Amino acid sequence: MFPILHGIQDESNLQEIFHQAPYQQKAFNNEALPSSGACPKNIGLPWQDVVSIPTISTWSLNPAGDAAIIRTVTIDVETDTPSYDLHLLAINAQYTVPTALHGTSHPSALYSFITNDTFVTLLPSQSSFGSWDFTLQALNYTTIPPAWAPTASKPIILKTVPLGNRRPQSMVYSAKARILSVVLDEGSKNESAGTSGPLALFSIAEQDNIWTIDQLTISLESDLAINEIAAGGSAVVFTAHNLAIRPRNATRSTFSKNSEALNLLTLHDQDISIFHIWTPTRSSPPSTPVRIPSNGTIHSAYHVGIAPLDHSHLIGVMSSLTSAHELWVISHSPHDDPAYNYENIRLTYFSKPTLRGRQLSEGESIEFVNELGSTVKGKVFLPSNTKSQKKVPVVLLLHGDGNSGGWRNQWMQYWNQNALINEGYAVISINPTGSEGYGDYFAQSRRFNWGNQTIKDISLGLTHSFILFPSLDSSSVTAMGYGAYGGFVIHWIQRHPTDFVTPNGEPVRWEELVAHNGALSPRWWAAETPCPAKVEWEFGEISYDDESSFSLWDPEHFVGEWAIPELVIHDGRDDCDAGPLSQSYASFALLQGRGVKSEILVSDRQAFSKWHRTIFELLGPL
C-alpha cells in the first residue's frame, strides 16, 4: 500500500497523482485545475488557505536526480504554530511518484546528499544544549524502473559527530573532492568547528561500509559573511561580503553535472530566472548568459545532467502568483534557443488540495515611461473577471529592499494579492525606480532621492491604473508598505497625501495606511540599524545640513500634518532592509500624540494569521 500524500484524503485523488503522464515537451503550466464545485463569488483565495498551504523550506537532491529529501512547513491558522514534515520524493525516468511521509523534522535542520542513498543532516544536538550534530543517514529505499513506485522505510543513522555551537546556515557537497562545505552563522569564534571564519569543511569517506568524517582546518577572514555557495568538480565557489556592508547581488548559482556550465539564478524583470552560461576556459571566448524561460520565480535548483535529446535538466523549487512552492523539472537544450526548446514538469502537489477549483489571478500587466525615460512596470489585480462598472476599493502595495526589492511573480504567505482580491479589493503593485531586476541604473537611481523619482513613479502608476481600469475607486485607497522603504513611503504619504492624483487631477482619498517594518527618520535608522552602511549607501554620510538627503527626505519633519489612520506593524526583524523596532514604536507614538486613529501590532515573523486578521479588520467588510 502506498503512503498517502500529505493533505490528500480520498483515493481518487491518489490515482490522479500516481499516473502522471511521462515527460513531454511543453511550456510552463500553472496547473489551472477544473473546478470541482460551485465557483466562488470572487476570484482569489481566502487568506486562511494562503497561510495553510505547505511550503518547501529546505530540500536536497541526490546525485542521480532520482530522489529528494524535502522538508515542508505548514502553519496552523488558528494558533500560527508551524509544523515541519520530512518527505522523500522518488523520481524515475517516466513517472512522478508521491512522497513517502517520514514524519516531523526540526525547523532548523539542513540536508545534503552524499551518494544516491546517503545524506547528511545538520540539526541541534540532543545531548548538548546549544550545539549542533552532523549526522550521516541512509535512505534504505529501492525502485524497480521504469514504472514502479519506491518502497521506503525510516532512514538509518550511520554516524553522528558534533559540529560545534555555531549555527549552520547552508551546505553543499563536492562529490569529486568528497568535501562537505558548511556555511556558519556570524556568531563568536568556535574552536570546535575547525575554523574561526564563516566556512567549515568536512572530508567524508567510506570503505568497506565504514564511514569516516574528518574536519579540515581552513583560513578565511573572520569578518566575512557568505551569501551563497556552489560546488563544481573539485572546487567550491562562494560569494561573500564584509559584515558591515549590505550585499547587493541577488544572484545564486549551481554548476552543471560535468562542471562545463554554470546556471545562475538571478533577478530578471518580475521573476528570478535561470541564466545558462558556459564555464569559461583559458582559451574560450567570453560566454553570453542565456535566460531559460519560466512564468514564475525559481527559488533554488540543482542540475541533474544531460538527458536524452541533449536536454540539460535541473530540478528546482518554483512558484508564481497563481501556484505555491512546488518542485519542478526545468529542462532546456543548451545548444538551441531556449525560448523554443524547453519544458517545465511539476513533481510535487502539496498545494493541489487547497487550490483545486480556485480561480486565481496573475494580474494585468501595466507599464509606463517616467520622466527619466525609464520604463516602469507593475500589475493590477481585479476581484472579478466581469467588466462591471461598479467601483472597487483599492489596495496599493509598496515594497521594500533586499529579497523584497520588487513585486515578483511568486507565491507569498504575506502580501498575497489573491488573498486581497478574494475579499473584494483591487490591488495595484508597482515596481518603481529603485526596484531590483531592471538593471543597476534603475535600481540605483533612488539613491540620495528617496522622496523624489520613486514617489513620482508610484503616483504615475496610480494615475495610469485609474485610466486603464475605470472600475478602480480613487475615493477609497489603502496603501500598505513593507520594509524600510515601503514604510518610508507610507509616512511620506502622511505628509504629501495630495501628491497622488486621479486622471482628472483630483487628489486620491486615502482610507488607511499600513507600515510594516518601516523606517521613519533616516538619521534614527542610521543610528539604530545593525547595518549602518546600508543607510550610508542610500543617503550618503550622515549630515544635519538642511539640503542633505537626511533632511530633505525625513517624514518626521512634517509629523504635525499627519492625519490619515495608520496601522503600524513590526515582526522583530533586525536586518539591513527592515526599519528598527524603535522606529515603529516612535511612529505609533507620534500618531497617538497627534490624535490620529492608529494601532500597533508587534509580533514575530510566523504570526501569519494574526497579521491577516489585523489587516482585514482594518480594511473592514465591503
DSSP lists the bridge partners of residue 311 as: 307
pLDDT of residue 493: 96
Relative to beta strand 311-320, strand 118-124 is unpaired
DSSP lists the bridge partners of residue 567 as: 514, 599
pLDDT of residue 28: 27
pLDDT of residue 147: 41
Torsion angles phi and psi, residue 608, rounded to 5: -65, -45
Residue 462 to residue 318: CA distance in whole angstroms? 30
In tens, the pLDDT along 50-76 reads 999 999 988 888 887 878 888 889 999
The C-alpha cell of 503 is what?
486622471
Sign of the Cα torsion 566, 521, 457, 401 reads: negative
Residue 516 to residue 567: CA distance in whole angstroms? 8
Any idea where the domains of the chain sit in the sequence? 41-160, 250-351, 364-619
Q: What is the DSSP string of 347-381?
A: ---TTHHHHTT------EEEEEE-TTS-EEEEEEE
Residue 533 to residue 526: CA distance in whole angstroms? 8
In tens, the pLDDT along 519-538 reads 998 888 888 888 888 888 88
Low-confidence ranges of the chain (pLDDT < 70): 1-42, 92-104, 140-154, 186-197, 217-253, 255-259, 305-311, 333-341, 385-388, 402-404, 621-622
- Sequence-distant (6+) residues with CB within 8 A of 463 are 501, 502, 503
Please state which of the four CATH numbers 3.10.129.10, 3.40.50.150, 3.40.50.1820, 2.60.40.420 is assigned to the domain occupying 364-619: 3.40.50.1820
- What's the alpha-carbon Rg for the chain, to the nearest Å? 25
pLDDT of residue 21: 28
Measuring CA to CA, how many Å separate 511 from each of 426, 479, 493, 565, 618?
14, 8, 12, 7, 10
DSSP lists the bridge partners of residue 440 as: none
- The conformational region for residue 547 under phi > 0 = left, psi -120 to 50 = alpha, else beta, is alpha
pLDDT of residue 558: 85
The C-alpha cell of 365 is what?
500587466
Helix ranges (DSSP H) in 446-566: 453-468, 483-495, 522-528, 532-539, 549-552
